[in-house]
Amino acid sequence: MGKFRKNWIILLFLLFGMRLNAQTEVQIGNGTQTGYVPLVAMYIASYGQSIYLNTELPAGLITSISYQYALSENITVSPTTIYMAEVSRSSYGGNTDRVPADSLTQVFSGSVTFTQGWVTINLTTPFDYTGDGNLVVAYLNNSAESLSSEESYFYVTPTTENMSNIAGSWEGTLDISNIGSGWMTPNESLAVRPNTKFVFSSAEDFCNDPQNVTVTEITDNSALVSWTAPEGQTTFGVSYKLANANEWTFLSNVIGTSYTLEGLQGLTDYQVKVYTVCDEESTSFGVVKSFQTSVSASQISSLPYSESFDEATSISSWLIDNGNATNKWYWGVAENNTTEVPNGGSLYISSNGGTTASYDNEAVSNVFATKYLTFSDALNFKVSFDVKCLGEGNFDNLEVYLVKGGENLNNDNLLGYFSGINSWERKEFVVDNSYANQSVRLVLKWKNDGNGGVSPVQWLIIFLLRRCLVV
């Protein structure tokens, strides 16, 4: 997390004592009663807004916000998303009256742990508050679980007008652009505000992120990350991780504005983070970029090609793109149609980490598994595979594409879609020599909508892809 340039501020104080207030802390409220703004921890999701008047606040860059947590029991709210906006209003009307989502700016996204006392949240994106309007702060708790059985959590201070609003949900996460009136109570405007502290910082005290971070020259095993230095800064930190990993791996401190990532794997999604190292104690929050390495020669197979999905180590020759979907492709052993291979595996959709070949038919998913091939010279090519797949008609099904060169998935390269198949069936397709002598992608797409459909969907696919002549 970012820190402020403490040393520099102390130095400034020594040199120019008048500038001690380069960082200003403002506290709003010192009440001793407790309440449930900015969040309701009992509910699985909640959304609180509070208004702070421009007569109470200075103008400046807001770099942190603190709330006074009252309980001895700690809670971790993850994900927490905090938004701010400058508004003309100074209060809320009815229970569903809120500052709309499209006028809010996201200033924090991450996990927040509340322990008894003041808890400070350093904003991931500082908010430039001009002071022309009043400040609204919105706190979205989408933890998707009840974090406490208590009913009030924060020290709050009464106000004459309704200066807060809170909505909660027992049933699902909240979409701030569509809170609606159908959510369970509490859904009300309140004449209290949480006791709150803001830190205002002048812009030059803040350790700024690098700008224009880009990832270029991406190969199957390397990529060049480059950036523009903020004024006066020369040193930057670079970390990276697999896109679906939690922990960042620190690579190096760099003096300069580029760094080459090496030793990467082909067809793999990565994230790289670049941050400014302002001094020994302070770094910026960092800018994160995502990229995918290209296919490596060893991942491109020539014909004849077949895959039984029995060797787990072969998975890296396929590109699996599950995005953030609940129903994911797995290369596992829950199903196997190559019965001559005991404990063999298959490629299937699972919503439970590969344990069973079954899907959650309420979680909309579009996921892809791709194999890169080179086709040689032949008049025709045959693709065949075994499939077992229930699903739901045209709504939840497997689509199989054979895609040339730079083409996108479309109806012309769709071989077929499959559902309602409850025992193994072999499917065969023949394509013509327009595929000859070029690179081809075999793409398996699983899609399902948000309701209906038979689970478990099960399939096992054996691809037996051969050059063949058809007369």
Residue of minimal Cβ distance to Ca ion: 453
H or E element, residue 273: strand 269-276
7 contacts: CB under 8 Å, gap ≥ 6: 279, 280, 281
How near is the Cβ of 327 to Ca ion at its closest, in Å? Answer: 11
At closest approach, how far in Å is the CB of 414 from Ca ion? 19
Measured from the CB atom, is 304 or 452 closer to Ca ion?
452
In the complex, the smallest distance separating the C-beta of residue 462 from Ca ion, rounded to whole angstroms, is 6
Question: Nearer Cβ to Ca ion, position 215 or 398?
Answer: 398
Min separation Cβ 169 and Ca ion, Å: 24
Residue 352 or 380: the one with the smaller Cβ distance to Ca ion is 352
* Nearest CA among 400, 378, 397 for reference residue 452: 397
CB within 8 Å of 276: residues ≥ 6 apart: 207, 208, 209, 210, 229, 230, 233, 235, 236, 237, 283, 284
Nearer to Ca ion (CB atom), residue 221 or residue 338: 338
Q: Assign residue 233 a region: left if phi > 0, alpha if psi is -120 to 50, beta otherwise?
A: beta
If the CB atoms of residues 73 and 449 are measured against Ca ion, the closer one turns out to be 449
- Say if CB 95 and CB 166 are below 8 A apart: no
Least Å distance between CB 398 and Ca ion?
A: 13
Residue number with CB closer to Ca ion (308 or 413): 308
State the minimum distance, in angstroms, from the CB of residue 366 to Ca ion. Answer: 13
In whole angstroms, give the CA distance from residue 171 to residue 174: 9
Q: What one-character-per-residue DSSP string does 107-138 give? A: EEEEEEEE-SEEEEEEEEEEEEE-SSSEEEEE
| 3-state SS, residue 7 | helix
Interaction site with Ca ion (CB under 5 A): 308-310, 336, 338, 344, 346, 392, 395-396, 449, 452-453
Position 67, amino acid: Y
Is the Cβ of residue 130 or residue 313 nearer to Ca ion in the bound state?
313
Q: Which helix (H) or strand (E) holds 381?
A: strand 380-389
> Nearest approach, Cβ of 355 to Ca ion (angstroms)?
17
